[in-house]
Amino acid sequence: MASETFKVAVLPGDGIGPEVMAEALKVLDAIEKKYDVQFERRHANVGGAGIDLEGKALPQTTIDICKAADAILFGSVGGPKWESLPPDEQPERGALLPLRKIFGLFCNLRPAIIFPALTGSSTLKESVIEGGFNLLVVRELTGGIYFAEPKGIETVDGVRRGFDTMLYTEPEIERITRVAFDIARKRASKVCSIDKANVLSTSVLWRQVVERVAKEYPDVALSHMYVDNAAMQLVRWPKQFDVLLCGNMFGDIISDEAAMLTGSLGMLPSASLAEGSFGMYEPSGGSAPDIAGQGIANPIAQILSASMMLRYSFGMQQAADAVDAAVEKVLDQGYRTGDIYQGTSGETRVNTVEMGDAIVAAL
């Protein structure tokens, strides 16, 4: 018997989801062999698979399995088959939003990593990203302008107007700030807090709270940046960043920008964390219906999602580092799935299973 056991709810979903999930599970098998740990896995249907097999994108049995777990490993959901359903019943809206709500997933982690071997796939000049970069956007996910009331469209004196409310409470800011600083300690110990404190009151408060919390982390370097400048700095010199701390809307935009700099969606994991250690881990991309069923999808985003699960929910830094290093090694060795294959010498084109096998071998 392993000395530690973690319960993982495995939700492969649709399209390439099950294909890449199988590879991530192989990596978990390898981690079990290498470390004194056991992952108790329970599979559940979600998204289109949930609709087809149990009548709902997020069936109650799936919710129960997730509630009994220490973390959720999620594939991806959606596809043309379910696109004619009413919006709230569709795979993505019907599963992801309720999961965020049920589990209080207030913190979204989106790393943007460019591995040294893949700098050619970025839209940025080689000289800017030489040697790769690794930054992490920490985005507040359940507050801010996307959720605050009042919001709406109304007519006043014959003129239509739309309005939203930007609102953050001090506890909301403090909670996400602590996550960012705790994570920075496990990385390069730098936090850049993104706001618009020259214009927005929420940002003035944001900055005050971040400053106060930062005093408890003297070992972490804090800087502040206006969001417009941050958008610019990301394309100018991404290597200056370690952790970027953002409210909901700024984080939405900045994380998409950062992801695109890497040039390969099939490589990027993400995590959504609740208070405590519970989290949901999934690739940044979708179910890729255009390549589903062909066995050619890149499993790295799913494998790195499993690595984030080890790091953030299970406290297994060493194992997570080992998975990340194994991914970097196979890329250095030239293994490429179609999405990252550039046809240069030294590259070996592989399919989903071969990429998974290579990563397990490197482990």
Query: Which residues sit at the interface with ligand NAI, rule CB under 6 A?
Result: 16, 20, 76-79, 92, 96, 265-266, 282, 285-291, 297-298, 301, 339
In the annotation, is 252 catalytic?
A: yes
In the annotation, is 14 catalytic?
A: no
- Judged by beta carbon, residue 89 or residue 256, the one nearer Mg ion is 256
Give the contact letters, 238-257, x = binds to Mg ion (CB under 5 A), - = no. --------------x---x-
CB of 92 to ligand NAI, least distance (A): 5
CB of 282 to ligand NAI, least distance (A): 6
Backbone angles phi, psi at 57, to 5 degrees: -60, -35
245 burial (CB, 10 Å; 0-12 / 13-18 / 19+) is: buried
In the annotation, is 256 catalytic?
A: yes
CB of 174 to ligand NAI, least distance (A): 28
92 touches, from ligand NAI, Mg ion, none (C-beta below 5 to 8 Å by class): ligand NAI
**In terms of residues, how long is the chain?**
363
**Residue 240, marked binder:** no
Short-list 39, 52, 42, CA closest to 11: 42
* 62: three-class secondary structure by DSSP: helix
CB atoms closer than 10 angstroms to residue 156: 7
CB of 303 to ligand NAI, least distance (A): 10
252 touches, from Mg ion, ligand NAI, none (C-beta below 5 to 8 Å by class): Mg ion
**Residue 193, marked binder:** no
In the annotation, is 357 catalytic?
A: no
Between CA 268 and CA 260 the distance in angstroms is 10
Count of residues interacting with Mg ion (CB under 5 A): 2
Single out the catalytic residue among 195, 252, 324, 339: 252
> Residue 219 half-sphere exposure, CB side, CA atoms within 13 Å?
9
For the residues of 188-226, what is the DSSP string, one character each?
A: TSEEEEEE-TTT-HHHHHHHHHHHHHHTT-TTSEEEEEE
- Judged by beta carbon, residue 141 or residue 184, the one nearer Mg ion is 141
The token pair at 103 is 């589990």
**Residue 176, marked binder:** no
**Residue 82, marked binder:** yes
C-alpha dihedral, 18 to 24 to 26 to 31, nearest 10°:
-160
Binding residues for NAD(+): 79-92, 286-298
Binding residues for substrate: 100, 110, 139, 228
User: Active-site positions?
Assistant: 146, 196, 228, 252, 256
